[in-house]
Amino acid sequence: MGRSFFGTDGIRGRVGTTPITADFVLKLGWAAGKVFSERTKGRKLILMGKDTRVSGYMFESALQAGLIAAGVDVALLGPMPTPAIAYLTRTFRAQAGIVISASHNPYYDNGIKFFGGDGFKLPDDVEEAIESYLQKPLITEESSKLGKAHRVADAVGRYIEFCKGTLPSGSSLEGLKIVVDCANGATYHTAPNVFRELGADVVEMAVEPDGFNINENCGSTQPALLQDAVVSEGADMGIALDGDGDRVLFVDHKGHTVDGDELLFVIAKHRHQQGGCSGVAGTLMSNFGMEIALRELGIPFVRTNVGDRYVIEALRENKWQLGGESSGHIICSDLTTTGDGVVAALQVLNAMGETGMPLNTLKKGMKKYPQSMVNVRIKQKFNLNNFPVIQQAVASAEDELQDSGRVLLRPSGTEPLVRVMVEAEDAALVSKLVRQVADVVESEVGCDVG
């Protein structure tokens, strides 16, 4: 069967609109509890954490009730980063971990994400099994078989120690002044302490969540205030995380942003120099400049569909250890099982410390190519293979680029749009070609171009 609710990153949407409602989430907790109970002998334990959205209280209670009704014990972690829940699920030997979060979205959205007992996101067959139970009536276990709930008192400290332990023994951040922007999200009580306990002078930003200010004018999606703060504080760098802590970007000492592709290149280059980078997995949206820079270093590179689960699949398939997205979702699979903003930041800081070079010097081996994207609103389902005129337009653009760039047509998974993207070294050529291809797409299948 297919999946009606699970997307590439769990279930997400506007609070109060199906499926992000209290009654649905109650049923979801029960359905997940039934599935994991069927697949487990002995103790049945699921960990649960959340970010700082006001709706997290409601969904935490609903999930807890559903899981207990299914006969599953629940360990409540409170506000914790998504990667912390993946880590703690493994260390507690739990059957699963649940995250209540909508990541970088505004406070009025929320979502539910799952990790298996191995710390990886659930395989398709488990998500499908949960969805099948959603179609059945909720039947509560008899009282003697109900689950219990307890709060984990030392979750924050455990995660902080884990993050610090991902650096080589004896590593220190002494002498560095770092501005840390926690997006008023789940890392507000963990990330600053990780960097501070490693010796850095930490200036905290966006660490006062009130349930409504998560990702608001702060964090990795809106770094303008961090850029200003780095310059005004005379800091060595700024680190911006998103609402659930699985993404990171940097600001160098001059106030310039350093995105996920550039950070991935810095980590890959340093590991390559140490003899430890077998390959890198990116996505269709990864900057062409990173691909060229990795090629020049002799580091293999593959692209996947957009989404960290596809990056992780590529890493596991190729037995590589490093991958990520330009958004700052970076996976170091030798250290943890999912994207972790703090762990990725520490890898960048380690490269700086071991080379003695500032960030803007380390990233110089990669030249970002200009990108331009045009969204074409379409009136029918789009498959490039069915439109030879569009295929010819793409081929013509690629001929003009002569291997110095690329053309990408990507249907949106959530809107009736085709995203036309062109990327090349010549910005003027990019602007010309993206409009040229978009005009053809619009004339063949579009309603308008915007």
Residue 251 has pLDDT above 70, yes or no: yes
Q: What is the pLDDT of residue 42?
A: 77
% residues pLDDT > 70 (the chain): 98
pLDDT digits 0-9 by tens, 99-157? 999 999 999 999 999 999 999 999 999 999 999 999 999 999 999 999 999 999 999 99
Q: What is the pLDDT of residue 2?
A: 60
Q: What is the pLDDT of residue 449?
A: 47
What is the average pLDDT score of the chain? Answer: 94
Residue 243 has pLDDT above 90, yes or no: yes
Instruction: Read off φ and ψ for residue 98, nearest 5 degrees.
Output: -120, 135
Could you identify the residue written with the tokens 């501005």? 179
Structure tokens at 81: 């980063």
Judge whether 191 and 166 are in contact, CB under 8 Å: no
**Among 104-108, 365-369, 414-418, where is mean pLDDT lowest?**
414-418
Residue 1 has pLDDT above 60, yes or no: no
Residue 450 pLDDT level (bands cut at 50, 70, 90): very low
Judge whether 220 and 248 are in contact, CB under 8 Å: yes
Domains of the chain, each with CATH number or no CATH: 11-153 (3.40.120.10), 159-365 (3.40.120.10), 371-449 (3.30.310.50)
In whole angstroms, what is the distance from residue 364 CA to residue 361 CA? 5
Residue 416 pLDDT level (bands cut at 50, 70, 90): confident
Global pTM value: 0.92
Q: What average pLDDT does this structure show over 12-25?
A: 97
pLDDT digits 0-9 by tens, 293-332? 999 999 999 999 988 889 999 999 999 999 999 999 999 9
375 CB-side CA count, 13 A: 8
Active-site annotation, residues: 103
Sequence-ordered strand ranges (E) for 242-366: 248-251, 257-258, 280-283, 301-304, 322-324, 330-332
